[in-house]
Structure 1
Amino acid sequence: MTLIQWEHLPVIASLAGRTEVAAEVLRRNLVVAGINLSALRGREIDVGGARLRLTVPCAPCSRMEAELGPGGYNAMRGHGGWCAEVVAPGRVGAGDAVVVIAED
């Protein structure tokens, strides 16, 4: 599972020399807002009925050059989102809240 922060979309667009970037172009599974994913490395979150554990940064792939144009790969570096392990599967829908699970 891959996640990206909505707040990074305008940054990626700017770095790629575009006015905007549609989230689906970036090939991430979930777009979330209002939460710093980088601060949650190794932590678990609930999204809808699923529980995820954020594992590693999601590196951009060469497809970003085709999707965003020349420089698309570099525009994504550091803004590509996060990979997550599915701890408990469940239904996830648009508008579902992201809840950070408290550490013990």
Structure 2
Amino acid sequence: MPEILQLLASPAHRFVGRPADGPAPAPVDELVDEIQVRAELGIVGDRYFGKAAHREAGVTVIAAESLPPGAGLAQARRNILTSGIAVDELVGSVLVLDSGQGPVRLRVNRPAHPCAWMDVTIGPGAWRGLRGRGGIRCTPVSDGILRVGPVDVTIDPGPSRLPS
């Protein structure tokens, strides 16, 4: 059964400077049980909410199956950690998640490629190990609320996947 395992809405950008310097301290309240998603804007309270440069990446999703044991959103810096959803295969489609408050539609624009920070926050070799499995960058196309726990999942084909 698909699940949302963790949610992150962080007001702070923690990966600044060089990875060798280490990340900035994490706000104590960045991992939450519920997030409010706004169409075309992102996650309310997140550092990228409403930022024009991040409109196509306002929500990021990663599968727990891609991460080593013990790693989560605080290390991977994605917004939604799922289980039972092959998110890396969804580029070009619309991921619809409903955790009980109605469907939230996310247009999957591109992969969320890992960076050198992953070797610092997750462990040596994570940067290479997460290539092709680093999650997805999405634009929310509907407002809604997502919660940790079981989630109904629907995959709608995007415009690029419709038959001609």
TM-score band (shorter)? 0.7 to 0.9
AA of the residue aligned to 2:64? W
- Match 1:40 to one of 80, 84, 90: 90
RMSD: 2.0
The change in CA–CA distance for 1:39 and 1:64 in structure 2 (over 3 A counts) is closer
Within 5 Å, give how 1:47-66 maps onto structure 2.
47-48=97-98, 49-66=103-120
2:152 aligned residue: 97
- Taking the aligned partners of 1:22 and 1:69, their CA distance within structure 2 comes to 9
AA of the residue aligned to 1:79? R
- Match 1:7 to one of 49, 60, 65: 65
Runs of at least 4 residues off by over 6 Å: none
Deviation of 1:62 after TM superposition, in Å, equals 2.2
Based on CA coordinates, which of the two structures has the bigger radius of gyration?
A: 2
Unaligned runs of 5+ in 2: 1-58
Report how many aligned residue pairs link the two structures. Answer: 95
Percent of aligned pairs sharing the same letter: 32
AA of the residue aligned to 1:36? A
Structure number having the greater helix percentage: 1
- Taking the aligned partners of 1:102 and 1:67, their CA distance within structure 2 comes to 34
Q: Would you say the 8 A contact 2:71–2:122 is kept in 1?
A: no
- Taking the aligned partners of 2:129 and 2:139, their CA distance within structure 1 comes to 25
AA of the residue aligned to 1:99? T
- TM-score by length of structure 2 reads 0.51
